[in-house]
Structure 1
Amino acid sequence: MRKLIFLTFLAVINSYSYAQTTYDAAKIPENLTKDAIAVVRNEEQFFDYKSIGSGQVDYKVAITILSKAGDDYAEMAEPYDKFSSIYNIKATLYDATGKKVKEYKSSDVKDQSLISDYSIFEDNRIKLLKFYSTAYPYTIEYSYSQDFKGILSMPSWRAIKGYNISTEKSVYTIQKNPTLALKFLTSKNLKTDSTKVGDKTQYKWSTTNTPAIESEPLSIGLENSVDWVKVSPTQFEYDNTTGNFDTWKNFGAWISKLNENANVLPPATKTQIQSLIKDAKTPKEKMRILYNHLQQNTRYVSVQLGIGGFKPILAEKVAQVNYGDCKALSNYMKALLNEAGIKSNLIVIGNGMPGLNPNYSSMGQANHMILCVPLEKDTTFLECTSQYSPMGFIGYDNSDRNVLMITEDGGKLVHTPIYNAKDNYQVRKTKINFKEDGTADIDIKSAYGNAQFEDNMRMLLIEPVEQRKRINETNGIPGAELISFKFNQADKALPIMTEEINFKSNQLLTQGGDKAFLTLNLINRKESVPAKIENRKTYFAVSFSYQDDDEISYTLPKGYAVEFLPKDITLTSEFGTYTAKFITKDNTITYTRTQTMTAKKFPPEKYNEFVDFNKKIYQADKQKAVLTKTL
């Protein structure tokens, strides 16, 4: 008995020592704490692909939270739906030395709806557990199993979970039966280990001691900087449907099948449509009438119920309830056009995501649906979820990318419109008239196109009180008093808006003896420059290509003449171009400025050159004229 007690005591001590050794924060390598708010100590993900429609994930992770900034990682948040179940959850909290502080019970785990604010029909749920500690560092550990009944996609993997989080060890393993086919896409140089275990094949990807990457300005993500793998079944079975992802054509065939007989309209709606278009002379005019009808009579509501996450609500139903998600509204618009004798195609697209990879068809590369109308002389893409977007304008988050057109013959990759810098314009003309006492009337007229229209469109939709507040918050003119303002979209069919704003100011001239100094770029100055980053890790790009054209004319106060005017400035680089010109004539100074920027993706090593280019613009925008008194 004494021996048994001693052995039990040793087992307890060994278990305690193992926890201390495993999760003792002091033992984290120094290179993993640099720039890190949390460290993944160990992550193990095992996916057993059992059949075309079933699989199981066993997942375990331990994360050391180094500071309060890392508290967002101190949670288990695992989604599931009616085609999967999560069970066997275990969770533990450890202190800085790795000593167990708390072991959580199943009753501590919340099971709640994952319903979105914009979704009224959604069957996604989440198992949620938040870990709390007031002492840092601390470590969380949890594990669970998840069964799937229907597989459209498989777990992906990345060497680090996000910015400012490092990884001590992470392993991802997939096991499959010999009759099943899958495919995977990996980052460059990531090693894939493949082994046989009985009659099954295992694929494994792993990383050790991967340091954190800081969030960097204008970063376009981590994918170009860390190892990753994406995995997809070749054939699939989901909610009583089957298909395969071997090509985009076959992927599109599955979507097409889901939409069979979905665009039949009620008789009353057909009659209404015919009445609306009876006087229209061209297909384009009919499309404009019907798109306007869609915007005025429907609203966007997300629907994510099983196959409803991929199959639209019937057009007949949308006609009755006047709402739907992107799939339903696009399909409804397709039905309206079909009634008008106009052919159209549904488009599967990744809104705000990279374009579809031509060589790797899979679920997860798209999150949205729009509509394409290929007329005889042109092709128009329609964003069917917005009540305000002009017809044919799909926004810069949908532009210039590969998308999947759904045809009767299956899927076909096409490319959405490209909005170049001159399309995404801001054109502004400002007149500034100085009075004898040095005060100035400032009249600003601006026009915004395409992406810059999209950035400013909100001003058309808010109340005057909010418009005034926003103008005052963003105004950078010294001592400016807002007198009047007006926003207008003259043609609702075009992504163009105009803006007229009037100010008064008595602080535009800086006096110095018998001279006055005038900053010539009053309206559209670059006010700051990002700091340089040595050893930058991530690729970068501006949000979209654009061109700003500014012209400011100053009528000088009586008794002043121009003593000094800067020389013209021209800056050229692979990132864009900049020109500033200064002309004086008849007591008037005219300043013109043009800045053009490209949204091309640049590698990390180019970033400091980009900063230098912006610094030159910053300096050029500060140029002053010197005025002298003549009386």
Structure 2
Amino acid sequence: MRLILTLSLLILFIHTALADETPSSEIINSVSHRQVKDGKLTVSDTLTIQINNRDGDDHAEILIPYSKGDKLSIGDAWIEDMSGNIIRKLKGKEILDRSFISNISLYEDDFVKEFELKHNQYPYKIVYSYKMTFNKFFQIASYDYRNKSRKIRNSTIIVETTEDQPIKYKQKNINNPKIETTAKTIRYIWQFSYDPLKGEVNASINNSKAPLLEIIPLHFTYGVSGSLENWQTFGNWVYRLNAGKDILPESETKKIDELLNGVKNDREKAKILYRYLQDYNRYINVKLNVGGLQTHSAEYVAINRYGDCKALTNYMQAILKYAGIKSYYTLINADDRVEDIDPDFASQAFNHVILTIPFGNDTTFLECTSNNLPFGYIHASIQNRKALLISEKNSRLITTPAQSPKDVLCNRNIITRLNTDNSARTEILITQRGVEYEAANYISTNINKNTVDKYIRNNILEGSFDLINFNFIKASRDSAKIQLQVECKMHSLYKKFGNNISITPYSLKIPYYENADKRIQDVQIDLPQYYEDSLVYEIPNATINKTPPNVQIITPYGHYLLQFEAKDNQFSVYKSILIKAGNYPLAEYGKFHEFIQQLRNLEIKNYYIEVL
């Protein structure tokens, strides 16, 4: 997975709670039979989907993905009315078989069979079945409904195995399976239903009430033989899968020798090689055979100058190894939400690879897919979570550092010169850190005035204004901050009533949270939000006589400080807002919500001053 920094990283993602409205479609019944036998996994699924209105027609388009080497066959499929009368059966020629390549890939071994069963009278039902055989697998089933929006009235999962092919499973919000044992087989049967969840801001993903079930084989062969007995055995399998992929061509070793000539310090060597990686290689996904898990060789990257997260990380590890620096290939789940990793249940819980370099007591983590992040920068998608460090015989879970408030502190220095027509000339210097830095840094590499204008309006400055000029100021490439100079003309910024002036504040966007009596989920905030503003307003032809009272709010969830000063015709405002990262149970949500509401109310409250 590549680190893709876009404006969407600045938007708080909406997560889950119970929905009341009639669903556009729902799964009436789902039966999945999964047989583990002779080293193969055979999946036989039958589903009945009910389409309730036109908005549900998208779910009448059925896609069944598979990979090269898997055997997939589509069984009977038809449309029926609510009385069970068959309206139309699927014909074989209606099934399309095509490549399922993603938009970030050069090539993949993934395919999809798809068909469409739509009707013009609602509601109606779709019934279909398929069978798929996997010759290699290390996962039997994975059901995670934490972000799913479709209702399931009944789902049955049946796993059939033998004593010599044991399985492991983890479940949440699902009843224990019924276990049936015969002379030759063991059958596990789970049943559950699911009511979809509606949006709640920053609902806890780790304490979700949605069903979750993961079933894995204890032993498997996927490329090479492996075991999911624990994290060490799984990590050791990853090591063996990628063994021998670190050989570099002679042309590459000569280049490394040139780059490191005269350099003695290992950290400085690593920094030089990381910049070399960034400057001469790019991210492209290529997935073949076991390519979703197995890396391409370092030689492949050295010749082609591209690779996915696995290949680029393996290449970086290889050039460090040649330079005599030890590093570790490290699996991680890169996402804007921090998902718990169960230390007692090893599985393929990751979607990304980074590199870990121990420098004495200081450990450095490298994101090898980015061309512009600083050396050792821990970005928002990998901070504060468990990762699997891969070693030949001692693979283990580690924890990446968390971004602290000082790491994400964003500053705005704003000078505003009020005009007599209620407009104002405004000069702003913004310093961005943390996730705000990541987005601004990405935008600054592809500067487009419309994109920058939208970014400023959505994330820096509210109200009516005309953007006159802007300029990004980058520090050194190893600095985890970026500055943006903005010049604009504000409209309707203030109103004058005799000797009193009402000034519209430069508000910061504080997320809206549900009222305490409506909330049903715990709160999970993975990143702190920390802002400081220094504002100066120059009032024409006036001397300021009176300013608003200062404000100070300090709680376990963060703080809000607002201080005012006046000198001659200058009105100064200092503001500091901190919303801490944390997990807050529903029992204390009322106090948390009260704090957030205070921030929201203060941020939209006008400043009233008195002038002479």
**TM-score, normalisation: structure 2:** 0.90
In 2, distance between residues paired with 1:227 and 1:157? 7
Q: How far is the alpha carbon of 1:337 from its aligned partner? A: 0.9
Matches for 1:174-323 after TM superposition, within 5 Å: 174-187=159-172, 190-208=175-193, 210-221=194-205, 224-239=208-223, 241-323=224-306
Q: How far is the alpha carbon of 1:605 from its aligned partner? A: 5.5
Structure 1 counterpart of 2:3: none
In 2, distance between residues paired with 1:502 and 1:88? 61
Q: How far is the alpha carbon of 1:68 from its aligned partner? A: 3.2
Q: How far is the alpha carbon of 1:334 from its aligned partner? A: 0.8
Pairing 1:149–2:152 present = no
Structure 2 counterpart of 1:71: 57
Alignment partner of 1:101 out of 87, 91, 97: 87
Pairing 1:382–2:369 present = no
Over 3 Å counting, the alpha-carbon distance change for 1:628 and 1:592 in structure 2 is closer
Structure 1 counterpart of 2:6: none
Pairing 1:414–2:398 present = yes
Contact 1:488 1:498 in 2 (8 A): yes
Aligned residues: 592
Task: Give the SS at the match of 1:290.
Answer: helix
Contact 2:465 2:489 in 1 (8 A): yes
Task: Give the SS at the match of 1:524.
Answer: coil
Q: How far is the alpha carbon of 1:55 from its aligned partner? A: 1.9
Q: How far is the alpha carbon of 1:471 from its aligned partner? A: 5.0
Contact 2:174 2:212 in 1 (8 A): no
Task: Give the SS at the match of 1:455.
Answer: helix
Letter in structure 2 aligned against 1:319: A
Mark the runs of 5 or more structure 1 residues left unpaired by the alignment. 1-30
Structure 1 counterpart of 2:309: 326
Task: Give the SS at the match of 1:294.
Answer: helix
Q: How far is the alpha carbon of 1:171 from its aligned partner? A: 0.8
Contact 1:431 1:552 in 2 (8 A): yes
Letter in structure 2 aligned against 1:600: G
Letter in structure 1 aligned against 2:408: N
Q: How far is the alpha carbon of 1:439 from its aligned partner? A: 4.3
Letter in structure 1 aligned against 2:318: A
Contact 2:548 2:609 in 1 (8 A): no
In 2, distance between residues paired with 1:248 and 1:111? 37
Letter in structure 1 aligned against 2:596: N
Contact 1:164 1:215 in 2 (8 A): no
Alignment partner of 2:434 out of 450, 453, 462: 450
Over 3 Å counting, the alpha-carbon distance change for 1:529 and 1:189 in structure 2 is closer
In 2, distance between residues paired with 1:82 and 1:478? 54
In 2, distance between residues paired with 1:562 and 1:88? 80
Task: Give the SS at the match of 2:270.
Answer: helix
Pairing 1:397–2:378 present = no
CA deviations 1:476-512 (Å, max 9, x no partner) are: 4544232221112211112211111112335222133
Over 3 Å counting, the alpha-carbon distance change for 1:525 and 1:215 in structure 2 is closer
Pairing 1:84–2:70 present = yes
Over 3 Å counting, the alpha-carbon distance change for 1:37 and 1:218 in structure 2 is farther
Pairing 1:50–2:37 present = yes
Letter in structure 1 aligned against 2:121: A
Structure 2 counterpart of 1:137: 123
Pairing 1:426–2:410 present = yes
Q: How far is the alpha carbon of 1:523 from its aligned partner? A: 4.7
Over 3 Å counting, the alpha-carbon distance change for 1:535 and 1:37 in structure 2 is farther
Over 3 Å counting, the alpha-carbon distance change for 1:619 and 1:161 in structure 2 is closer
CA deviations 1:558-613 (Å, max 9, x no partner) are: 135344x3322233444322222222233322212111112323345655554433
Task: Give the SS at the match of 1:260.
Answer: coil
Contact 2:90 2:117 in 1 (8 A): no
Alignment partner of 1:541 out of 520, 524, 529: 524
Q: How far is the alpha carbon of 1:244 from its aligned partner? A: 0.7
Structure 1 counterpart of 2:153: 168
Over 3 Å counting, the alpha-carbon distance change for 1:189 and 1:206 in structure 2 is closer
Structure 2 counterpart of 1:588: 570
Contact 1:248 1:413 in 2 (8 A): yes
In 2, distance between residues paired with 1:294 and 1:598? 35
Over 3 Å counting, the alpha-carbon distance change for 1:506 and 1:61 in structure 2 is closer
Structure 1 counterpart of 2:106: 120
In 2, distance between residues paired with 1:476 and 1:593? 15
Contact 2:408 2:433 in 1 (8 A): yes
Over 3 Å counting, the alpha-carbon distance change for 1:271 and 1:107 in structure 2 is same
Contact 1:356 1:366 in 2 (8 A): no
Q: How far is the alpha carbon of 1:198 from its aligned partner? A: 3.9
Letter in structure 1 aligned against 2:437: F
Pairing 1:575–2:560 present = no
Over 3 Å counting, the alpha-carbon distance change for 1:111 and 1:518 in structure 2 is same
Over 3 Å counting, the alpha-carbon distance change for 1:467 and 1:59 in structure 2 is closer
Pairing 1:500–2:482 present = no
Mark the runs of 5 or more structure 2 residues left unpaired by the alignment. 1-17
Comparing 460-469 with 367-376, greater Cα deviation is found at: 460-469
Q: How far is the alpha carbon of 1:219 from its aligned partner? A: 3.2
Task: Give the SS at the match of 2:319.
Answer: helix
Structure 2 counterpart of 1:335: 318
Letter in structure 2 aligned against 1:449: R
Task: Give the SS at the match of 1:172.
Answer: strand
Comparing 331-340 with 536-545, greater Cα deviation is found at: 536-545
Q: Which has the higher contact order (CA 8 A, sep 6+)?
A: 2
Contact 1:35 1:164 in 2 (8 A): no
Comparing 167-176 with 216-225, greater Cα deviation is found at: 216-225
Task: Give the SS at the match of 2:312.
Answer: helix
Over 3 Å counting, the alpha-carbon distance change for 1:296 and 1:553 in structure 2 is same
Letter in structure 1 aligned against 2:574: T
Q: How far is the alpha carbon of 1:435 from its aligned partner? A: 4.7
Q: How far is the alpha carbon of 1:544 from its aligned partner? A: 1.6
Alignment partner of 1:470 out of 454, 472, 488: 454
